[in-house]
Every structure is written in C-alpha cells, then in structure tokens.
A and B are shown apart, each in its own frame.
Chain A
C-alpha cells in the first residue's frame, strides 16, 4: 500500500513537470511575474520541502523543475551537455603539486528562435596558491543563419574565446528582435492599410504607404547590430520611394533630407513614437 502512495506522489510530480514543459516559451519582457509564478508552482508541487528526497523519481522531478525554472529565468535552454576530461599532469608537475587538466565541453540548446551548438576546451591549472581556468578553444554553430548580423559576431566571439559575451549578446540580440517583431505587428494591426510587411513581422523592413497615393512609399529599415565589444544596438534608416514627377516638384528637397530628419526624430521621440508619427503623417497627407 505504501509503495502505491509513493508512486502516486511521484506521478503527480512528474505530471507537473511535464505540464510545464508543454507551456509556450514566453516573450522576453514579461518575465519577472512569470518567473515568480513558476517558482511558486515548484514550491507547491514539492510539498516534501527542499530536503533531498529518497525517492528517485520525485527527486528527478524536482531537478527537472529546477532546470525548467533556470531556463525561464535566463531565457536560455540547454538541452544537451557532455564533458570529457583529460589529465595532463606530468610527473614533474605532481612533484611540485601542480595539477593540469584539459576539459572538453559540448553544449547545445536554444535562446528563443536561435539554436546554438558549442564546443570549447577549458584548461585548468591548479597549483598550491591558486586555480586558473582558461578557455583555450571555442567553436560555435548557430541556426537560423538568415540573421547575417550574427555570423560576424560569432567569429569574433570564437576569436576572443569569449563565451559569456556570446550568451550576453545573444540574449540582447534576441530581445531586440522580439521587440522589433512586436512593434511591427502592433503597427500592422493598428494601421492595416498603411503598413506593409512584405517579408512578415520577423523581417527588418516595414513599408508605409497610402493606398490612395500609389507610388509613394516610406521604408523603415531596422537592423540590429552587434559591435566589436558585443554591444547590441538598433540601427534604423529611412528609405523613400517616390515617383519621378514628385521628386521634380520637391523644391525644398524634403524627400532628400528625409533620412536625416528621421534620425533626428528618432533621437527626440524614440523608435515607436517616430514610426507612429511617420505612419500618421502619410495617412493624413492623403486624406487632405
């Protein structure tokens, strides 16, 4: 009878963990409340408390919940990990109580829509005073490869063997991509006639047109760049598509200076307000 009760408990813990695995990954930004909620769920499911459970299954369930929690907390999901250790300590070193070990790590997982596969080597040298750990080799494979901004960034991270910068910049890059996608989607929903997303909300371009004034189009190009130090910055540009006749009539060179005024506007109003004001201006102009 006892074993059945234990089995029932363990099944319940497993079901909770599985239910969590079926939940959609959240958009970055709404995280703190979700993280708090997910933590409360773990606490409630494991009414045994935090002591190490002798029952293997419930312990496993608890560990899996912890893993899921970490994944929600960081936004990074590690699915595979393996490690190989090679002892490079020579007899000379052992005499001086120096230990030298080479670890080969393999890590793969995803950060939202981007999956990564890493292989790196870690050289650990331990002497009497201190332990030094150095990453001596780093190789990164990322998908999807259509984010061309990422390939340059990846080679730089590999060159510098900067593992942490890779994850940090990856996070911020994904955060910006999701923000761009949400913003484009929002404008498309608010102004369905004016806003045109030729490659969908995940692309870097948003077109603004007025159906009653064909031939005119403003194209916002919103790129997300990663600089030398791994800093992720948005870079927005305005392209104008204007019929030749209109260009000839433009005495004040408004169209020519539009990209520059766009940049100034960005600095003053910020991204969303600038885009909205552009959409509105093209809209109202036509209705006059």
Chain B
C-alpha cells in the first residue's frame, strides 16, 4: 500500500517537467497543423533542449565524481569519445556495458547469495556446496515494506527460519541472509555426506542408515572390512551445532556379546576419532582403501 502511494505521488512530481513539455509539444503540433506558424515551436524545442543540456552537464559532473571514487579500483566502464558521435558506435559501447553488468549480476551466485529484483522486492537465492560440489539452492522472496516480510520461500521446515528472521531480518538483513546461508550450507553438507555413504559404501553397512530430515542424527551398523569381521560396530553421530558439517557427539559401540580384544578396542576408539574429524563418506573411503588392515596412521 505504502509503496504504491509513494509511487503515484512521486510519479507526478517526477514526470512533471517532462509531462509538461509533452503537453506543450502536442499543443504545438496541433496548432502548427492549423496555422502553420513555426514561432512557438522553436521556443518549446529550445526549452527541452536546454533541459537536456542541463541534465547532460549534471550527468557529466557525477560521472567525473564516480570515476574519482573508483580511481583505486579498475573500472570496466568505457568512455564515449567526444569525436564518435555516430549512433552505431554508441550503441555498441552501451551493449557491451550492458552485457558486462548482466554478467556481474549472474556472477553473484558464486558468493552464495544472489538475487533478482521483483515488483515488490527481491527474490534472494542462496546456493549451497560441500567440498566444491555445488548442491541445492533455496530461495527467499522478500517484500520491501515496513516491516520487511517474507512472501514465500523454499527453506525446508526443519531449518529455524522463524528464529533467524525474528532475530535479524528487521535490523540487519545481511546478517539474516548470511546466517541462513550458514544453516543451509551445513544442512546441505550433512545431507551430502549421508547420501554418499548410502550410495558409495553400501557394502560396509550391515543395515539401513537411519537418519532424520535435518540429517543431524545418524545411526548405522557397519563393518570396517566387508568380508571377514563378523562383529559389526554400531555408530551414532549427533550434530548438535546445526551450522557445522562434522558431528559434536560420536559413539561407536560393539555389537557382540563377548568382550572386545585389545586390537578391536583400539579400532573402536580410532573409528570414533575418525568420525569426529573426517566427513562421513570419506571415513568409509579410507576403510576401502586400506583393505583388510586398518592403518593406525590415519589417526593423527
């Protein structure tokens, strides 16, 4: 509501000069047709011409100021040579500038946060990745009103969006976006690890991988050697901190009824440490690589 009102108010004052000149123009062309008197025409033409001249002067002044400010950073703007008044060349230069700006707008996705302007605000797109693998993107459609509102979004329900927006959306939008980024990237990373474990290391799992939708509680039974070892280990990984991709609590327990031999106990402890420090699917990749013998040098 507020936005629409402001627009109509400002539209009037902004279009004021030009609208006035437009009216003058139509008047002139009409009267010219009737009386063919060219006297008033030059007056209007010169009024418009003067306005353009003034605008050009102001524009050039601002241009110089901006250039000064960007003196330390290489600017990609090209100067229109005063000699080249050919429309065609100007068009080309403008086209190149436009392509350049378009490219930079596209490049924003590599920062993790990009956006597209909409009629009511901006649709922010948050990208996620894990270990260089680009993963899912999520969007948040914001309405630029007082107070700022989320029109709709694709954030999964188990991400604490309400909490984060209550804390930061109205006061510090950058903090809101980057915090959301943190949570989403961590979730994406945990999900990626669990997915990879399920797909790549099926042979090592003695049963299905149990996981929750937030992927911060994982439980599975596994064998470090697919054949041979008869008593599998049972692992439980808890990621209490939702902004991390490594677990905060790890418990590896032994399934069998008889007591663990010393080597098995060492193995169990070593595995626990591995789960704490390495991404889940990588732990299993290292199991596969070492073959039968678990290399104790992994624990360092």
Taking Cβ atoms with an 8 Å cutoff, the residues of A that contact B are 1, 4-5, 7-9, 11-12, 14-15, 18-19, 21-22, 28-32, 35-36, 39-40, 42-44, 47, 49-50, 56-57, 59-60, 63-64, 66-67, 69-70, 73-76, 78-83, 105, 107, 110, 115, 118, 120, 122, 132-136, 138, 160-165, 167-168, 171-172, 175, 229, 231
Contact = CB atoms under 8 A, between A and B. Distances in A.
A18 B62 contact: yes
Given A5-B22, A70-B108, A29 B172 contact: yes
Contact of B107 (A9, A63, A75, A105): A105
B112 A56 contact: no
A32 B169 contact: yes
Nearest to B176: A32
Contacts of A163: 110, 112, 129, 132
Contacts of B75: 79
- For the complex, would chain B's binding face be called helix, strand, loop or mixed by DSSP majority? helix
B3 interface: yes
Given A120-B110, A164-B128, 7 more contacts: A31-B173, A40-B3, A63-B105, A64-B101, A133-B133, A162-B132, A167-B112
A74 to B, nearest CB: 5
A21 B69 contact: yes
Contacts of B3: 40, 43
Interface of B: 3, 6-7, 10-11, 14-15, 18, 21-22, 25, 45, 48-49, 51-52, 55-56, 58-59, 62-63, 65-66, 69-70, 73-76, 91, 94-95, 97-98, 100-105, 107-108, 110-115, 117-119, 121-122, 124, 127-129, 131-134, 144-146, 148, 169-175, 177-178, 181-182, 185, 243-246
B127 to A, nearest CB: 7
Contacts of B174: 28, 31, 73-75, 171, 175
A122 B246 CA distance: 25
A11 B62 contact: no
Nearest to A41: B10
20 contacts: A7-B52, A15-B62, A18-B62, A22-B65, A28-B174, A29-B175, A39-B122, A42-B117, A44-B6, A47-B7, A56-B95, A67-B104, A73-B113, A78-B108, A79-B76, A79-B104, A163-B129, A164-B112, A164-B128, A171-B178
Contacts of A12: 14, 55
Given A8-B48, A15-B58, A162-B131, A81 B107 contact: yes
B86 to A, nearest CB: 15
Contacts of B118: 50
Contacts of A57: 94
Q: Which 6 A-B pairs have the closest CB atoms?
A: A161-B132, A164-B112, A18-B62, A135-B132, A11-B55, A133-B134
Contacts of B105: 63, 66-67, 70
Nearest to B244: A229
B21 to A, nearest CB: 7
A11 B58 CA distance: 9
A57 to B, nearest CB: 6
A168 B189 CA distance: 15
Contacts of A118: 110
A22 B104 contact: no
A120 to B, nearest CB: 8
A1 B121 CA distance: 35
A35 B144 CA distance: 8
Contacts of A69: 117, 122
Nearest to B58: A15
A168 B182 CA distance: 8
Given A22-B62, A32-B148, A133-B133, A44 B112 contact: no
B111 A32 contact: no
A135 B55 contact: no
Contacts of A107: 107, 110
Given A44-B14, A229-B244, A39 B121 contact: yes
A115 to B, nearest CB: 7
A165 to B, nearest CB: 7
Contacts of A7: 52
